[in-house]
Chains A and B, each alone.
Chain A
Amino acid sequence: MGQLIAANDLVKAFPASRRMADVLRGHRPVLRAVNGVSLAVGAGQALGIVGESGCGKTTTARLLLRLEEPTSGSVVFEGQDVTALRGAALLPFRSRVQLVFQNPFDALNPRFTIRRSLTEPLRNFGLPAQERHARILEAMARVRLDPPEAYLDRHPHELSGGQLQRVVLARALVTHPRAIIADEPVSMLDVSVRAGVLNVLRRARDELQLAAIYISHDLALIRYVCEEVAVMYLGRIVESGPTAEVIASAAHPYTRALVAAVPVPRVDQDRGDLPIRGGLPDQLNQPSGCAFRDRCPLAFARCTEEAPPLRAIAPGRHAACHLA
């Protein structure tokens, strides 16, 4: 299957000098928010990126969207390296790869009607008014905002969270993108309306054959919308593969902890300790060897000395653990 959008060995280092003394001594520590991430998504495919907050998911998304300059590595879209594109040269890419914001309550201008919010992305397209209107109606039908007249002249505060998130998705679709990247698209919504938004996302992906990347800390949500998943820990992908397989037989201890932590609405459930210790380490003082070792229940001597590379462990599956 062709790759519509791909990341090759992306690295993003932020300056992280917290102490004036460091700066004066010319010592400039950097925080590698993304540290060698490669991934690829084809048309009609969906990839989930999962991990705790602080693992580098949003930075990965921003690099893919070209909202952030990578320190090294490249972004390839429809076979073209877009890493070097700047300014006006980026505009076609921007309309073809769209972001769905996390917080629908912030994503829309509160003073704009829904019609205006949906028209705005088409401003520089030079489309006749009639065509613009047709695009808006098409996008609204796609996200099941029905009938459109019931929404077009309203303002964001008149809509519920679930309706707003559909508007945000419709806005991403009016430019006829080839790829969408959704960063925690339902985390601000009530559980009861998440299902509706996830169903709409999945149908849009199928009907338009979009390449989709969804970011979440919850594997159960990823499972519903993504056939493939990449697990991130401290800026690196530590496991990847078909979502169902990764959940059923996780190879990396971190993935196993994420699986065990998935909330389930059942009364009888395992309430044992999670197979993980504490929280994320200080990003500037990561452990030697395997970055996960201070939280890993299986760590052994070799993990201190040697960083496990991400390697193939089965057809379509990769993991970065000495024991995988």
Chain B
Amino acid sequence: MDALLSVRDLAVHYRTAAGPVRAVDGASFDVPARSIVGLVGESGCGKSTLGRALMGVMPRSASIAAGSAVFEGRDLVTLSAAERRKLLWRRMAFVPQTAMNALDPVQRLGAQMMEVLVERGGLSRPEAGTRAAELFALVGLDSGRLRDWPHQFSGGMRQRASIALALALNPALLIADEPVTALDVIVQRQILDVMRELQARLGLAMILVTHDVAVVAYACDRVVVMYAGRVVESGPVRAVLEAPLHPYTMGLMNAFPDLERAGGELVPIEGAPPSLLNPPSGCRFAARCPFAVARCAEDPALVEQAPDHHVACWRAAEAPALRPLASEAATWAS
């Protein structure tokens, strides 16, 4: 497969007074050209850190400690800051976790768009005006609203505007961090439809960061499941969601309230991800895993268990037998 982005053993640490926080601790996955990859996991698993590290927009306390991220043939980790900046907007663009963060509250939307198009893209003002209207139309916004201020927009419209802004200079890769998390179900669906349509029309690749497996099922071609700074499972959406190999992925699927599944108790994953200041040794999911055995005290490597389907679990070969157990609440009760 022709990967647009190839991440290998990437580690990103935050310096803190208490020591390094290993927010991403050896992540490996591919983003094929023209595909939407869902990066899924609970809060605190390192998804935003990973997205920001790939984008090169990290806080000062963060640094890439190891690994590589080859994008269009060049390793982002070893590029100079200046070369990095050249890629930003033009080849890869970012929609941050809250749409409001992407937009400047004291500037009209049109002016923000013009700034990117003229100053970064080198377009003339008339060209930029036409392009701004085009971009708004692309995400389903009326170009008349380029004169509006961000606060005049609803949550869904703001998210559309920040996607339009990210697309201004035709990037090949868009990283969107929780683009629908704070939105209600109708707006969620409309935004995901916009993203799918953009991907199809413009041939973009996207990384869609989310804690919601339904978002992955609806919008993504591939999925990367993260737990405690590591990739624990990855592959095509159908393979991973329909026949998960990792107990964490099984848990994420079973915790989902399903409109069609009859009443009964929901199946939560008890507990929470560990602190990444001193991550536990061995399998990081062991403390919450109902299937943990003695061997799980050692670290399972991410292996290709089936063609194009990777997993890091000692009991992956037993997954077909574990899946029915994982769908019962009693299995997870601590």
Residues of A within 8 A of B (CB): 52-54, 160-163, 190-196, 198-199, 217-221, 223-224, 247, 257-259, 261-267, 269, 271, 273-274, 276, 279-280
A40 to B256, CA, bound (A): 29
Q: What residues on A are CB-neighbors of B217 within 8 Å?
A: 264-267, 269
A267-B269 in contact given A192-B42, A194-B255 (Cβ < 8 Å): no
Q: Name B43's closest neighbour in chain A (CB-CB).
A: A190
Q: What residues on A are CB-neighbors of B184 within 8 Å?
A: 52-53, 217-218
Query: What 0/1 pattern do residues 13 to 49 of B give for CB contact below 8 A with A?
Result: 0000000000000000000000000000011000000
Of the A-B pairs whose beta carbons lie under 8 Å apart in the complex, a sample of 16, sorted by A's number, is A190-B43, A191-B256, A193-B268, A199-B265, A224-B257, A259-B259, A262-B259, A263-B185, A263-B189, A263-B212, A263-B214, A263-B218, A265-B214, A265-B241, A267-B237, A280-B154
A261 to B188, CA, bound (A): 8
Picked from A196, A198, A223, A273, the residue with its CB within 8 Å of the CB of B259 is A223
CB-contacts of B210-267 with A (<8 A): 211-218, 237-238, 241-242, 251-253, 255-260, 263, 265-267
Query: Across the interface, do A263 and B157 meet the contact criterion of CB distance under 8 Å?
Result: no
A117 to B265, CA, bound (A): 29
Q: What residues on A are CB-neighbors of B218 within 8 Å?
A: 263-264, 269, 271
Query: What 0/1 pattern do residues 175 to 206 of B give for CB contact below 8 A with A?
Result: 00000000011111110010010000000000
A52 to B213, CA, bound (A): 21
Query: Across the interface, do A193 and B256 meet the contact criterion of CB distance under 8 Å?
Result: no
Q: Name A262's closest neighbour in chain B (CB-CB).
A: B259
Q: Name B236's closest neighbour in chain A (CB-CB).
A: A267
Closest 9 CB pairs of A and B: A195-B266, A263-B214, A196-B268, A160-B272, A217-B184, A195-B268, A261-B185, A220-B257, A265-B213
Q: Name A162's closest neighbour in chain B (CB-CB).
A: B272
Q: Name A200's closest neighbour in chain B (CB-CB).
A: B268
Q: Name B217's closest neighbour in chain A (CB-CB).
A: A265
**Residue B156 is within 8 A (CB to CB) of chain A in the complex:** yes
Query: What 0/1 pattern do residues 291 to 319 of B give for CB contact below 8 A with A?
Result: 00000000000000000000000000000
**Residue B67 is within 8 A (CB to CB) of chain A in the complex:** no
Q: What residues on A are CB-neighbors of B270 within 8 Å?
A: 196
Query: Across the interface, do B272 and A265 meet the contact criterion of CB distance under 8 Å?
Result: no
Query: Across the interface, do B259 and A52 meet the contact criterion of CB distance under 8 Å?
Result: no
Query: Across the interface, do A198 and B255 meet the contact criterion of CB distance under 8 Å?
Result: no
Picked from B187, B242, B268, the residue with its CB within 8 Å of the CB of A192 is B268
**Residue B155 is within 8 A (CB to CB) of chain A in the complex:** yes
A263 to B220, CA, bound (A): 14
Other A-B pairs, 8, CB within 8 Å; known A261-B188, A263-B188, A280-B154: A52-B187, A190-B42, A192-B42, A195-B268, A261-B189, A265-B214, A267-B238, A271-B196
Query: What 0/1 pattern do residues 139 to 178 of B give for CB contact below 8 A with A?
Result: 0000000000000001111000000000000000000000
Number of interface residues of B (CB under 8 A): 45
Q: What residues on B are CB-neighbors of A217 within 8 Å?
A: 184-186
Query: Across the interface, do A195 and B255 meet the contact criterion of CB distance under 8 Å?
Result: yes
Q: What residues on B are CB-neighbors of A264 within 8 Å?
A: 214, 217-218, 256, 258-260
Q: What residues on B are CB-neighbors of A161 within 8 Å?
A: 43, 272
Query: Across the interface, do A261 and B259 meet the contact criterion of CB distance under 8 Å?
Result: no
Q: What residues on A are CB-neighbors of B267 within 8 Å?
A: 195
B78: shortest Cβ distance to chain A, in Å? 35
Q: What residues on B are CB-neighbors of A266 within 8 Å?
A: 217, 241
Query: Across the interface, do B185 and A258 meet the contact criterion of CB distance under 8 Å?
Result: yes
A199 to B329, CA, bound (A): 11
Query: Across the interface, do A279 and B257 meet the contact criterion of CB distance under 8 Å?
Result: no
A190 to B215, CA, bound (A): 13
A280 to B190, CA, bound (A): 13
Q: What residues on A are CB-neighbors of B212 within 8 Å?
A: 191, 263
A54 to B263, CA, bound (A): 29
A224 to B184, CA, bound (A): 18
A274 to B270, CA, bound (A): 34
Q: Name B154's closest neighbour in chain A (CB-CB).
A: A279
Query: Across the interface, do A265 and B186 meet the contact criterion of CB distance under 8 Å?
Result: no
Query: Across the interface, do B190 and A274 meet the contact criterion of CB distance under 8 Å?
Result: yes
Picked from A162, A258, A267, the residue with its CB within 8 Å of the CB of B186 is A258
B202: shortest Cβ distance to chain A, in Å? 19
CB-contacts of B107-149 with A (<8 A): none
A151: shortest Cβ distance to chain B, in Å? 13
Q: What residues on A are CB-neighbors of B154 within 8 Å?
A: 54, 279-280
Picked from B188, B257, B268, B271, the residue with its CB within 8 Å of the CB of A223 is B257
B152: shortest Cβ distance to chain A, in Å? 11
Q: Name B248's closest neighbour in chain A (CB-CB).
A: A192
Q: What residues on B are CB-neighbors of A247 within 8 Å?
A: 259
Q: What residues on A are CB-neighbors of B211 within 8 Å?
A: 190-192
Q: What residues on B are CB-neighbors of A273 within 8 Å?
A: 193
A259 to B193, CA, bound (A): 17
A279-B253 in contact given A52-B187, A219-B259, A265-B214 (Cβ < 8 Å): no
A176 to B271, CA, bound (A): 27
Q: What residues on B are CB-neighbors of A195 within 8 Å?
A: 255, 257, 266-268
Q: What residues on A are CB-neighbors of B268 within 8 Å?
A: 162, 192-196, 199
A313 to B43, CA, bound (A): 44
Query: Across the interface, do B242 and A267 meet the contact criterion of CB distance under 8 Å?
Result: yes
A220 to B185, CA, bound (A): 11
Q: What residues on A are CB-neighbors of B186 within 8 Å?
A: 52, 217, 257-258, 261, 274, 276
Picked from B187, B238, B265, the residue with its CB within 8 Å of the CB of A279 is B187
A170 to B231, CA, bound (A): 35
